[in-house]
Structure 1
Amino acid sequence: MFTELHEDILIDVLHSLSPFDLAALAQTCKASHKLVSRHGWPYCVRSRPRPSYSLSSSRSRWTSLIHAKYDVLTDEAWKTQMFVARPLSNPWSRKNAPALAISTNRLVVASGNDIHCYKFGVTSSCNETSAPPVTFEGSYSLLGGHEGFGIITAITHVSSHGHADTFFIAFRGGIIEYIILSPSAADADDHHHQQLLPLTVTRTHATTLTNGDFSESLSSTSQFLLSVSSNGSATLADHRDLTGLTDTPLPQPPSPSSHQLEWSSSLNFQTPSWASLLCPTSSTPYAAFGISNPTAPLPIYYLPDLSLPSSGIPSVLLTTENFSSSSSPSTSTASPSAVYGLSQAPPSSAWGSSPDIVVGGWHDGKVRCYDLRVQTSSHITIPHPYHSLSSPTLPSSTSVGAGRNWIEVPALKPTLSLHNPRSHGQIYSVSCGGGYSSYITAGTDNSILSFWDVRSRQSGWSVHAPGNDPSPIHSVVLESSRCFGATESRPFVYDFGPGVTIDTYPPITPSPGDKLKLQGNGIDYHVRKYTHN
């Protein structure tokens, strides 16, 4: 009999089976059921990563079987484009460019002067029919101390400690604050608490940008904070003297010190800048920037000593698929270009789960993916110092040969380019994950989110946000089963997972003039979607 084989052989066989094969084998006899439960489902979950912040607490309580079943049903929903669309709030009274930050505890939506917090609940290990709930914790104004300049421009999650989270938040007035969100002791001890108590918001002044500048994007790790400003100033700091954070998990975040954040290194692009991505986990740590630039709006800087290079010269410039070394430099004027969104690749992309994959959302409406491991023989000639590249006119071949203010930098073309042929709007935000951990999503104009499966890029499709708000999607976070986004009017979610009920998300009472249309099931809201073919 099959079960009489040596256990090591049986385990090897189980590792080659799909979830459907494991389910079938488990039903053949008690011995097979025990073998699949002990070895099959745990390996199935480990070998098919589906990263998700909002499901993290529930997954820690699920059995491997429930975990695998949830992922399989979610993947099938992605394949058939089946999801529940839910707004997370009524329209805000004022329209701003919101930003999202997410942890294993909560989703934080920063808009205007306020942060809106949504707590991730937990389902028990025996309740496989209900999706983990998302509960509105409350809205908190951060206007105090920033009157006239209190609009939030950027937010990044730093670390989680128990049920508390830490963030850096930037304001239009140039101030950057270190924020700790802590639940009450009673609420922290009870995931199922029905009456959520207010969060405690602890604010610490970190630093202030000068000369009327402010941060457009923040990117952080447990040790470093990277900022890029509206005027093109990129700065990197070790924030541990301020935050007191370490790599050792703590039940509560340490109290901030009186130290100010000190920038250890900096660059200046002297051109509007929009996005930053700090990656310390690559074999060579790097920082990527999305800037406005006619020829190279996506520079990469390698950080072997974890500091931005004083020379300001990029390590590599990420270009379009049409770039040719022979055509650069030229005397022609380049078209305006910019990169507004940055992300890393889906875990199950064709390139493998590598931190060396950079995904950029471009001004021309394309999403471009780059593999930094690829060797390139192409170069682009740029002015030195690099910030002069903000000028759209490139030098003639004569001036390049004779001048000493021009240098050659490696140029890398994309390995994959994606676009929605039915939309000509620019890309404002990008994120990766989704079903099979192989999707890329991009937020564009007119509240449109576009999705592509990198295993089959011809199968792209798009969907409007609930209410069809006439706004770009400024920020997006893509998980295995959930896609969170935010327009100028409100945050929303598309849930591809099983078990969504009327109680999974906060209730919404439509306000006058709102275009929300609730479906007959009382759970899902109508959205318009279409394929790219």
Structure 2
Amino acid sequence: MSKGLLAIPSDIIILVMYFLNAKDLAALECTCRELFHLVEEYGWTINLKSHPRPAFSLRKTFKLWSTKEQVRYSTITDHNWDNAEFIARPLSNRWAGKLQPILAINSSRLLLAAGNKIYSYSFIPSPSARAPSVHLECIYSTSNVVHPNLDITSIVCIPDDGLDRTVYVGYANGILERLVLPSVRDGHDGSVPVESLLKETFNFHADDLIESLSASSTHLLTLSASGNAVYFPLASPHPEPEFLHLNTRSWSAHLSTRSSSPYAAFGMSSMNPLVVHDILPSGLSPTPSTFLAPFIDTGRPSAVYAIDEAPPAAPWGASDQVLVSGWYNGVVNVYDLRAPTRPFSQTLGPPSLRPSLHFEDPWSDEPIYSLSCGGGSGAHIAAGSARHSVVAFFDVRAPAKGWSVHAPGNDSSPVYSVIVDGSRVFGANQSRGFVFDFGPGVQEDTYPAVSESLPTTRPGRGQRQPFGNLLKRSTKHPAGFYVTKYGHSRERGW
């Protein structure tokens, strides 16, 4: 509360100090009441402003709660993050086939795109003491034809004056579409087609699969598999795109336009797999300004599959100039773009920057396929692994406290997408979406109902149980499902 006291007028502080030195119990009681009133009126609000925890899925609920209730919820959530205590839930039953889903989020809903469908999970505001609910609103269909070329490979939400229904979607056939998702009644039975009147199509990438979309409040950045990037303004009805050719297999893009030094970062398969291009007043720079080097340079090509901004409450401050990246060798590297780079030289090449921090699961060297930052105290990194549906968690304040967890169902799939959203971590593998909820008040109806799929008979000798279908209820919480987790250090037990 020290920061809170600094905001109290000095004459009140002097008055309180005077009464605390007095021997008059009545005066002291009066002072305590005054202090309680100050805390109720100013303290909780100041605490929230001093410790921001951005969370899309909680935003509407927090508008209904008092500041004291919000602080209580966040305090319990932070404690659970610090102790790896959460409730694991599948978001749906296992869907048919093996897909590569991708997640997007805004203040009204979580969108999970898999194949040619978009599963829309709406955020329902809740009364105090109950976790805000996540309900399956409907399932949108972007095509009436099922074909791998029509699968959604990337999706991002963009601002639309609070409607929260506008997205850009990239497909395996290289098509980019702007969709306005139609409004439907909650729990609509069956697929809802997105009609052509609600679509705007862009053919910037020919037939080249769109791997990544990244949006700011003003611009969109797209990246195709062969390394063709397109940058254009969102507000223009007929945007004039800028093209950048990286000329190598590419995976991820991250756009930052809010800071005084806007930039675009690209993750590729290359000898220099992570590069930064400045965004100048004239547009996207055609040449990299900085090469971001690995923690240990092996002299061999590598790949960067995921990029995100650093946690908002990291020790280095909330800055758009700090990047987190997930690498092929299973390492998460953090770069501070404000740090001095090694200058260009004829022998060593272009300017480069070493990571300020790095994190890894010592028991796994699987590639990092997805990344997201935030969580408890705004200081965590979640990294989705390439195998066994493992999500690794790192606390940037204490790197030795890392731990990992398998998603519900023990699927052997990668975690293709992950979003850290305050008290919640949403993820998706080849079989379904899932959530880890660190907040209090989770009930059975907080999330969509799913059927438990357990073997009816014991496997015989030499037989294996099917992966991805073994949902088992948790013995610790009636609303949760069993998952396996492990610490990154031998000292940390479960």
Matched, 1:516 2:471: yes
* Paired position in structure 2 for 1:247: none
Q: SS in structure 1 opposite 2:232?
A: strand
> Aligned pair in 2 of structure 1 residues 454, 478: CA closer, same or farther (>3 Å)?
same
Matching of residues 177-216 of structure 1 within 5 Å: 177-184=177-184, 201=194, 203-216=198-211
C-alpha offsets along residues 71-123 of structure 1, whole Å, 9 cap, x if unaligned?
Answer: 00000011111100000011110212111000000000011111111000102
| Distance apart, 1:39 and its partner CA | 0.7
> Aligned pair in 2 of structure 1 residues 26, 195: CA closer, same or farther (>3 Å)?
farther
| Distance apart, 1:267 and its partner CA | 1.4
* Paired position in structure 2 for 1:341: 306
* Paired position in structure 2 for 1:170: 170
Matched, 1:9 2:10: yes
C-alpha offsets along residues 34-63 of structure 1, whole Å, 9 cap, x if unaligned?
Answer: 211111000001100111010010111111
Equivalent pair of 2:131/2:441 in contact (CA under 8 Å): yes
> Aligned pair in 2 of structure 1 residues 11, 139: CA closer, same or farther (>3 Å)?
farther
Equivalent pair of 1:104/1:160 in contact (CA under 8 Å): no
Equivalent pair of 1:183/1:200 in contact (CA under 8 Å): no
* Paired position in structure 2 for 1:487: 429
Matching of residues 92-241 of structure 1 within 5 Å: 92-124=95-127, 127=128, 129-144=129-144, 149-184=149-184, 201=194, 203-241=198-236
* Paired position in structure 2 for 1:45: 48
C-alpha offsets along residues 280-316 of structure 1, whole Å, 9 cap, x if unaligned?
Answer: 012111000011102x11100111226222xx32000
Q: Aligned partners of 2:263, 2:86: CA distance in 1, in Å?
A: 36
Equivalent pair of 2:138/2:188 in contact (CA under 8 Å): no
Letter of the structure 2 residue corresponding to residue 213 of structure 1: D
> Aligned pair in 2 of structure 1 residues 113, 7: CA closer, same or farther (>3 Å)?
closer
| Distance apart, 1:159 and its partner CA | 1.5
Q: Aligned partners of 1:376, 1:168: CA distance in 2, in Å?
A: 35
| Distance apart, 1:446 and its partner CA | 1.3
Identify which of 366, 384, 392 aligns with 2:331.
366
Q: Aligned partners of 1:74, 1:525: CA distance in 2, in Å?
A: 19
Q: SS in structure 1 opposite 2:49?
A: helix
> Aligned pair in 2 of structure 1 residues 529, 12: CA closer, same or farther (>3 Å)?
farther
Q: SS in structure 1 opposite 2:48?
A: helix
> Aligned pair in 2 of structure 1 residues 86, 10: CA closer, same or farther (>3 Å)?
farther
Q: Aligned partners of 2:11, 2:93: CA distance in 1, in Å?
A: 54
C-alpha offsets along residues 475-528 of structure 1, whole Å, 9 cap, x if unaligned?
Answer: 000122000000111110000000001110001013466201012443110000
Equivalent pair of 1:346/1:437 in contact (CA under 8 Å): yes
Matched, 1:272 2:226: no
Q: Aligned partners of 1:489, 1:300: CA distance in 2, in Å?
A: 34
Q: Aligned partners of 1:173, 1:455: CA distance in 2, in Å?
A: 42
Q: Aligned partners of 1:6, 1:95: CA distance in 2, in Å?
A: 55
Matching of residues 454-493 of structure 1 within 5 Å: 454-493=396-435
Equivalent pair of 1:26/1:34 in contact (CA under 8 Å): no
> Aligned pair in 2 of structure 1 residues 300, 434: CA closer, same or farther (>3 Å)?
same
Equivalent pair of 2:269/2:304 in contact (CA under 8 Å): yes
| Distance apart, 1:161 and its partner CA | 3.5
Equivalent pair of 1:94/1:112 in contact (CA under 8 Å): no
> Aligned pair in 2 of structure 1 residues 28, 450: CA closer, same or farther (>3 Å)?
farther
* Paired position in structure 2 for 1:322: 296
Equivalent pair of 2:139/2:190 in contact (CA under 8 Å): no
> Aligned pair in 2 of structure 1 residues 301, 527: CA closer, same or farther (>3 Å)?
same
Matched, 1:79 2:82: yes
Identify which of 369, 375, 398 aligns with 1:428.
369
Equivalent pair of 2:139/2:191 in contact (CA under 8 Å): no
Q: Aligned partners of 1:195, 1:26: CA distance in 2, in Å?
A: 58
Q: SS in structure 1 opposite 2:283?
A: coil
| Distance apart, 1:134 and its partner CA | 0.4
Q: Aligned partners of 1:305, 1:154: CA distance in 2, in Å?
A: 28
Matched, 1:313 2:278: no
> Aligned pair in 2 of structure 1 residues 59, 322: CA closer, same or farther (>3 Å)?
same
Letter of the structure 2 residue corresponding to residue 208 of structure 1: N
Letter of the structure 2 residue corresponding to residue 224 of structure 1: H
Letter of the structure 2 residue corresponding to residue 81 of structure 1: A
Matching of residues 23-42 of structure 1 within 5 Å: 29-42=32-45
Q: How many residues align?
A: 454
| C-alpha RMSD over aligned residues | 2.7
* Paired position in structure 1 for 2:21: none
| Distance apart, 1:12 and its partner CA | 7.7
Identify which of 318, 322, 331 aligns with 1:357.
322
> Aligned pair in 2 of structure 1 residues 415, 133: CA closer, same or farther (>3 Å)?
same
Q: SS in structure 2 opposite 1:436?
A: helix
Q: SS in structure 2 opposite 1:97?
A: coil
The TM-score with structure 1 as length reference comes to 0.80
My pick for the range that moved more, 362-371 or 207-216, is 207-216
> Aligned pair in 2 of structure 1 residues 197, 509: CA closer, same or farther (>3 Å)?
closer
Equivalent pair of 1:181/1:199 in contact (CA under 8 Å): no
Matched, 1:70 2:73: yes
Equivalent pair of 2:143/2:193 in contact (CA under 8 Å): no
Q: Aligned partners of 2:188, 2:149: CA distance in 1, in Å?
A: 34
Amino-acid identity (%): 38
Identify which of 328, 344, 350 aligns with 1:409.
350
Q: Aligned partners of 1:147, 1:194: CA distance in 2, in Å?
A: 26
> Aligned pair in 2 of structure 1 residues 37, 86: CA closer, same or farther (>3 Å)?
same
Equivalent pair of 2:138/2:187 in contact (CA under 8 Å): no
Equivalent pair of 2:93/2:451 in contact (CA under 8 Å): yes
Matching of residues 489-508 of structure 1 within 5 Å: 489-508=431-450
Q: Aligned partners of 2:161, 2:284: CA distance in 1, in Å?
A: 29
The TM-score with structure 2 as length reference comes to 0.86
Q: Aligned partners of 2:345, 2:125: CA distance in 1, in Å?
A: 51
Q: Aligned partners of 1:272, 1:349: CA distance in 2, in Å?
A: 32
Q: Aligned partners of 1:41, 1:194: CA distance in 2, in Å?
A: 37
Equivalent pair of 1:137/1:199 in contact (CA under 8 Å): no
Matched, 1:304 2:307: no
Q: Aligned partners of 2:270, 2:154: CA distance in 1, in Å?
A: 21
